[in-house]
Amino acid sequence: MQIDKTKELETKGIGTLLLAYAIPSVVSQIISSIYNICDRIFIGHGVGALAIAGLAITMPVMNIIHAFGALIGVGAGARMSIVLGKKDVNWAENILGNSFIFTIILGSIVMCFSYLFLDKILILFGATADTVSYAHEYMVIVLPGMLLTTMAFNLTSLIRATGYPFKSMIILGSGAVLNIGLDALFIFVFRWGIAGAAWATTISMAVATVLSMIHFLRRDSFIRFRRHGFKLKGYIFKNIFMIGMSPFLMNVAAAGVVAILNSQLIKYGGDMAVGSYGITNSYMNFMVLLILGVCMGMQPIAGYNYGAGHPDRLRRVFVLTMEVCVVIGVVASVLGCAFPRYISMAFTTDGTLLDISQMALPLLSVMSPLIAFTIVNSNFFQSIDKPWIAIVTSLSRQVIFLVPMMFLVPLFFRDLGYDSLMGVFAACTVSDVFGALLAFVLLLTQRKVFKQQM
């Protein structure tokens, strides 16, 4: 018997719904973040400091690949929620089938392109003679795993949108837990080095993808794979593309910005500065993933009620999500500023890495509440089919403000007699402030979505 679990999105209390949807998403993000952190800890202690720097070089490349997954996954999930709010099941199944095909096509193209120009891409993003071998060895194995990762991300997003947040958590969580176990086995027992981490990722994501597909193959699933859903339709691609463009550009921009940032870090601090950024960025990613987890819980609720025409419920889920995420940002800021060295020691015992990380972490984490404010705004407008507001909000902090600041602030610090390397990290702090201000202005221009019947 098919059960439509999405009806509760317009009947249950907003607090109850956000709790039911956000907790599984947050748990998934925590497990994924723990996996990312363990990946770096295992590589740092099992392979070495240069291997961490090599892994840091792969991050922007992987962000670009993830961007294509987000283009489909986020766009499909948000559009699915809106369509289900309109009670159009046929359209929802078209989104499921079309997004599956789009993910395979785009993922395969990106994977082939990456293989053809891998070394050139890695050097473009800051790999040096000492780190390129580690980065190359990792990427050659992990690229097929990235295709599986984007597929798992896409399908679990749709599982959540169709009323199964707990199942989505179980699937993503099982993949991450398996990844951690395989990491330890391949790196410390089999001694496969950084290649072990890559194999762990590929195998675990294959498992998550299979589990996701099984959900939509079941006959009792409310939304499932049907023949008509696999007929490619231009309007479906346009719907997905427009909403997914925000996270896509954000991920691509992040990759480009990291390439510039790595260049500046090498200029003022060398490979160890890049490695230190990899450590501090792991901590910041943990905070961001928690916030994104809450936003992932918000997305089906906001999208469904936007499609169903309930502006009051839309306002309540936005306010509650903002309150929760800003609190997360405050906690992250306090811990990052108060205990930078202790946090860094979890990743490495190298004295140089610790010294740079101790300086960098407070600068990167101090504006975490403002980062939370910006992220919630971007994800909310993305959820209610206002992609251009989401795009400007998300890109402002990472591109519009950060890129020029990475060149100007180090020079300003040098002129004041401070370390220019500190200025590179401080550029992130300054851009966080300006990004939040712009997000606030854009929010004021969209107040009508909380008042009028849609």
Helix, strand, coil share (%) of the chain residues, nearest 5: 85, 0, 15
Q: Are 428 and 374 in contact (CB under 8 A)?
A: no
pLDDT surpasses 70 at 454: no
- CA-CA-CA-CA torsion sign (39, 43, 45, 49): negative
> Where in the chain are the domains?
10-450
Q: Would the pLDDT of 33 be above 80?
A: no
pLDDT value of residue 328: 94
* Region for residue 309 given its phi and psi (left: phi exceeds 0; alpha: psi -120 to 50; beta: otherwise): left
- What number is the average pLDDT over the span 300-306? 90
Q: What is the mean pLDDT of the chain?
A: 84
pTM of this prediction?
0.78
Cβ atoms within 10 Å, residue 405: 21
Q: Could you read off the pLDDT of 71-97 as tens digits, one per residue? A: 788 888 888 888 888 888 888 899 999
